[in-house]
Chains A and B, each alone.
Chain A
Amino acid sequence: MTEPDLRYSEVEEDLRSSVRALLTARAGAGLWRELVGLGVTSLPVPEGLGGQGAGYREVAVVAEELGASVAPVPFLGSAVLATAALLHAGDTPEVRLALSGTPVLAVPLSSWGAVVGVRGLTGSIRSVADAAAADRFLVPADNGLYLVEAADVRVSPVPSLDETRPVADLEFSAAPGTRLAGLDAVRRALLVGAGILASEQVGVAQWCLDTTVAYVRQRVQFGRPVGSFQAVKHRLADLWQELVLARAAARNAADALTTGVDTAVAVSLAQSLCATVAVRAAEECVQLHGGIGMTWEHPAHRYLKRAKANEIALGTPGMHRATLAPLIDLLG
C-alpha cells in the first residue's frame, strides 16, 4: 500500500486562507450566500455540472475552517451530504436542478448504517440538520432516494442542542417526488459526511485548544499565569497530542474519500477518534476558563454544543468501532 498524502497542499492552504478571511469579515445572514459565491459549497461537483471540480480533500479543509468558527451555515446538510448523494445519483436534469439550489438530505443527523426513510412519501423524519435552509429535500423512501420540493414538506424547527446547526422535524403526506437513485446514494452520502465531519471536529478542537492556551497564558492567580501550573500544562499537552492523532486520521479520511482507497476503514477510524477529541477539547476549554467558561457570553459553549452534537452525528464513536471491527479482521 502506498502512503497516503496527509499534508496540506499549497492550493489547500490558499483555500483555507480565503475561507478564513471570509469567516472573519462576515457573519450572519449573508454568509452562506458569500460562501456559495466563493465556490466552496460546490467543490466536489464536476465543472460540467456547474461545480469546481475539486475533491474531498478541499471540502475537508473548508469543513475545518467552518468548524473552527462554528459557522451557522448548512454546509454539512447541503454541500456535503446532499451533494454526495446527488453526485452518486448520476447526471440527470433533476440532479442538475437540485445541485443549482440548496438541497438537504432528509435523514436524522444521527444516522449511520441502515436508513429507513418513509413509505409512499408519507410520514415523518426527525432531527434533520440544516432543514430550514432547504429549497428541496432528498428523501429516502420505498428503497430509493426521492427529490421533493421543500414547499411540499412541513418543516418544524425544534430547539436544538447545537443552535449553530439546528435540526428540524419533517412531515410528509403523500408528497410529490421524483426518484433519483437507490439507497446506496444515501449510504455514500453518510460515508462522505462522516469522513468530512472528522475535519470539522478537528477544526472545533483546534479552536478550543488555541483559545484555552491563550487564556491560561494571561489569566493570573496565585501570582502567576494559571498556564504555568503543571496540572494545567499537562492536560493541554495531552489534548495537543490527541489533536495530532485526530488531524492525521481526519486528513487520512479526506484523502481516502478522494482516492477511493480503503475508504470505509479511513472514515470509521477518523470518526471513532475525532468525535471524542473534539468533545474533550471543548470540555477542557470550558473547565480551564473557570466561571467565564460557563457564561452564555463566552463563545466556548457554542463549541461544546457543536462538539457534543457532532459526537452523535453520523454515527457515535462506538458505532464506528463496530463498523470498523470486521473491516480490520478484529471480530468480537
Chain B
Amino acid sequence: MSEWTDRVAALVAAHDPATTDRAAFLRARFDAGLAWVHFPEGLGGLAAPREAQREVDAALSAAGAPDNDPRRIGIGLGMAAPTILAHGTADQRRRFLRPLWTGEEVWCQLFSEPGAGSDLAALATRARRDGDDWVVTGQKVWTSSAHNARWAILLGRTDPDVPKHAGLTYFVCDMTAPGVDVRPLRQITGEAEFNEVFLSEVRVPDTDRLGDVGDGWRVARTTLMNERVAIGGRPVPREGGMVGVVARTWRDNPDRRTPDLHDRLVALWVRAEALRLAGIRLRTGSPGPEGSAMKLAFAGIAQALSGLEVELLAEDGLRYDDWTERRPAHVDYLGRGAGYRYLRAKGNSIEGGTSEILRTIIAERVLGLPAEPRADKDLPWKDLPR
C-alpha cells in the first residue's frame, strides 16, 4: 500500500466502477488528481513524480476501472495538453484539460500545410486581428483525426513582414466553427486516417490564443518535443509494441522460419528492448532533444520489424486484408494485418518530424554541430521564395 493506492481506493469507494457511468468515473478520477499525477493539483494531477502514474494505473485497472482510451486521444494527451499546461492561461487550462483527458473532446493538430512541412515555420495560413477575434484563412494538410476532433491546436501567421519564425501565433481552434471544412485524404493503407482542412474566414476569439502574439514558434516547440516523446518514448512492457506482434507471428509460424530471418529478428528484438530501456532512462525528466533519438530509433525499428513480418508470412504476405477507404476512430500502428502494419509504419519516419529533420536536430542541439547555412532565416516571410 502507498499514498497512491490509498487515493485510488478512496476514488473507487466513492465511485464504484461497476455502477458508475464511464464518463462520470473519468471526470471523478480527473478531479481526484489521478488522471496524470505529475500535473498540478486542480488540473487532474497532484504535482507528483511521473513514476507514480504506473502504480496508479495498475491499481485502477485492478479495480476494474475504465480508462480514457488513450489511443483515441493521442494528440490531445501527447501534444495539446502539455502545450496548454506550459503556455495556457488559468482559464484555458481549466476549460480544456478536463474534457481533453476524459476523451469527451478529441483534439487534432493543424500545423502542416501544402507548402510547409519540414519547414513548418514557413507556413502561410493567415490570422488577421478583427476586434476581439482573429480571422483565419488557409489550408492545412495531413491532419490526423480532424474528422473526430472537437478542437485543434493551430499555428497561423499573424505578421508576414518579419522573418518566418517571428511572425507566428499559436491558437486553439474550434473545429465546429463556421468556415472549417474537413475533407478525407486516403493514405497508402487504403484508410483515410488524415485529412485536408480548409479554413475560410474562421473566427477564433482572442481568448483562444495560446501564448503571446508572435510567440507561436516557441509554443509550437513545446508541442513538437512532446510529440516526439509521445511517438517514441511511451512506457511499454517488454514486447509491448511492434516487436511483440512480430514475435507472436514468429512463434505461430514454425514452418516459415529461416536462419536469415531468425538472426534479423533477434537483432531487432534486441534493438526494440534497448529502445524500451532507453525510454525508461529518459522518462525521468521533461522531454528535450533526446526525445528525438527515441522517435528516430522507434521509426527505424518499427519499419524493419513490420517489413520482416511480411517476408516471414511468405505467400500470405502477398495478400492484404481490406482496401476499403475506412475512417478509423484512432491512429493504429499495430492493428489489422501484416501488410497494413508494414504500410502504416512508413509514416513513422515522416509524421512528427521526418527522420532527416530529427538527425539534424540531434546533430545541432545535442551534439552542438554547426547549423547549415540558411539563406531564409533573416528575410521577411513575405519575401521568401515559394
Interface residues of A (CB under 8 A from B): 1, 3-4, 6-7, 209, 213, 216-217, 224-225, 227-230, 232-234, 236-238, 240-241, 244-249, 251-252, 269, 272-273, 318, 321, 324-325, 328-332
Which B residues are CB-close (under 8 A) to A331? 254, 257
Knowing that A229-B372, A273-B274, A325-B262 are A-B contacts, what are 17 other residue pairs whose CB atoms are under 8 Å apart, sorted by A's residue number?
Answer: A7-B281, A216-B369, A217-B369, A217-B370, A225-B370, A228-B369, A228-B373, A234-B360, A236-B363, A237-B359, A244-B293, A247-B281, A251-B277, A252-B277, A269-B274, A329-B251, A332-B262
Nearest CB to that of A268 among chain B residues? B270
Measured CA separation A330–B239 after assembly (Å): 12
Contact in complex: B362, A213 (CB < 8 Å): no
Considering the chains assembled together, what is the distance between the CA atoms of A89 and B294 in angstroms? 42
Q: How far is the CA of A258 from the CA of B254 in the complex (A)?
A: 36
In the complex formed, the residue of B with least CB distance to A238 is B359
**A240 with B293: CB separation less than 8 A:** yes
Bound form: Cα–Cα A332–B253 in Å: 11
Asked if A321 and B270 sit within 8 Å, CB to CB, the answer is yes
- The answer to whether A4 and B367 touch across the interface, beta carbons within 8 angstroms, is no
- Once bound together, how far apart are the Cα atoms of A209 and B369, in whole Å? 12
Tell me, in angstroms, the Cα distance from A224 to B293 when the chains sit together.
26
**Choice from A6, A216, A238 contacting B281 with Cβ under 8 Å:** A6
Task: Give Cα A159–Cα B247 distance, bound, in whole angstroms.
Answer: 45
Given contacts A228-B369, A330-B269, whether A321 and B281 have CB atoms under 8 Å apart is no
Min CB gap A174→B, angstroms: 44
A244 touches B368 (CB 8 A): no
Looking at the assembled complex, report how far the CB atom of B363 sits from the nearest CB atom of chain A, in whole angstroms.
Answer: 4
Give the distance in Å from the alpha carbon of A323 to the alpha carbon of B277 in the complex.
Answer: 20
Nearest A-chain residue to B263, judged by Cβ? A321
Does B275 touch A at the CB level, under 8 Å?
yes
Residue B210 at the chain A interface, CB threshold 8 Å: no
Task: Across the interface, name the chain B residue whose C-beta is closest to A332.
Answer: B262
Task: Give every chain B residue within 8 A of A273 (Cβ-Cβ).
Answer: 270-271, 274
Q: Across the interface, do A7 and B360 meet the contact criterion of CB distance under 8 Å?
A: no
CB distance B284 to A7 under 8 Å? yes
Complex Cα–Cα for A229 and B247 (A): 39
Query: Are B269 and A328 neighbours in the complex by a CB distance under 8 Å?
Result: yes
Q: Is the CB of A330 within 8 A of B250?
A: yes
Chain A residues with Cβ below 8 Å from B62 are none
Give B258's nearest chain A residue, CB to CB. A332
Residue of B nearest to A210 (CB): B367
B297 contacts the other chain (CB 8 A): yes
Q: Do residues A240 and B367 form an inter-chain contact, with CB atoms below 8 A? A: yes
B280 at the binding interface (Cβ < 8 Å): yes
Report if B41 contacts A (CB, 8 A). Answer: no
Question: A325 is contacted by which of B238, B266, B278, B297 (Cβ under 8 Å)?
Answer: B266
Does B366 count as interface, using CB distance less than 8 angstroms? yes
> B280–A245 contact, CB under 8 A?
no
CA of A244 to CA of B237 in the docked complex: distance in angstroms?
A: 19
Given A230-B372, A238-B359, answer yes or no on A245-B275 (Cβ-Cβ < 8 Å).
Answer: yes
Q: Are A249 and B363 in contact (CB under 8 A)?
A: no
7 contacts between A and B (CB under 8 A): A4-B277, A225-B370, A227-B370, A233-B364, A233-B367, A240-B366, A245-B278
Does B10 lie at the interface of the complex (its beta carbon under 8 Å from any beta carbon of A)?
no
- In the assembled complex, the Cα of A318 lies from the Cα of B262 at a distance in Å of 11
Please, which residues of chain B bring their CB within 8 A of the CB of A7?
A: 281, 284
User: Quick check: A269 and B280 within 8 Å, CB to CB?
Assistant: no
A269 to B271, CA, bound (A): 9
Q: Closest approach, in angstroms, between the C-beta of B4 and any C-beta of chain A?
A: 15
Tell me whether A237 and B277 are in contact in the complex, defined as CB-CB below 8 angstroms, given that A217-B370, A329-B251, A330-B247 are known contacts.
no
B262 to A237, Cβ gap below 8 A? no
Q: How far in angstroms is the closest Cβ of chain A from B41?
A: 26
Q: What distance in Å separates the Cβ of B276 from its nearest Cβ neighbour in chain A?
A: 8
Closest 7 CB pairs of A and B: A233-B363, A248-B278, A248-B277, A237-B359, A237-B362, A228-B370, A245-B274
Q: Point out the residues of chain B lying under 8 angstroms from A1, CB to CB.
A: 237-238
A160 to B: closest C-beta gap in Å: 29
Contact of B360 among A227, A233, A269 (CB under 8 A): A233
A321 CB contacts on chain B under 8 angstroms:
263, 266-267, 270
- A272 partner residues in chain B, CB cutoff 8 A: 266-267, 270
Q: B372 — nearest CB in chain A belongs to which residue?
A: A228
Residues A330 and B262 in contact, CB atoms below 8 Å apart: yes
Complex CA distance for A251 and B273, rounded to whole angstroms: 13
Closest to A233 in B: B363
- Bound together, the chains give a CA A46 to CA B356 distance in angstroms of 50
Q: Which of B54, B296, B367 contacts A236 (CB 8 A)?
A: B367
> Within the complex, what minimum Cβ distance (angstroms) separates A179 from chain B?
37
Tell yes or no: B290 within 8 A of A by CB: yes
CB–CB B293/A227 < 8 A: no
- CB-CB nearest in chain A for B295: A241
* Chain B residues within an 8 Å CB radius of A324: 266, 269-270
Distance in angstroms from B286 CB to nearest chain A CB is: 15
Residues of the A chain whose Cβ atoms lie less than 8 Å from the Cβ of B294: 244
Closest to B238 in A: A1
B360–A230 touching, CB < 8 Å: yes
From A248, A318, A329, A332, B257 is in contact (CB under 8 Å) with: A332
Contact A237 B367, CB 8 Å, known A269-B274, A324-B266, A330-B250: yes
Which residues in window 224-280 of B have CB below 8 A to A?
237-238, 247, 250-251, 254, 257, 259, 262-263, 265-267, 269-271, 273-275, 277-278, 280
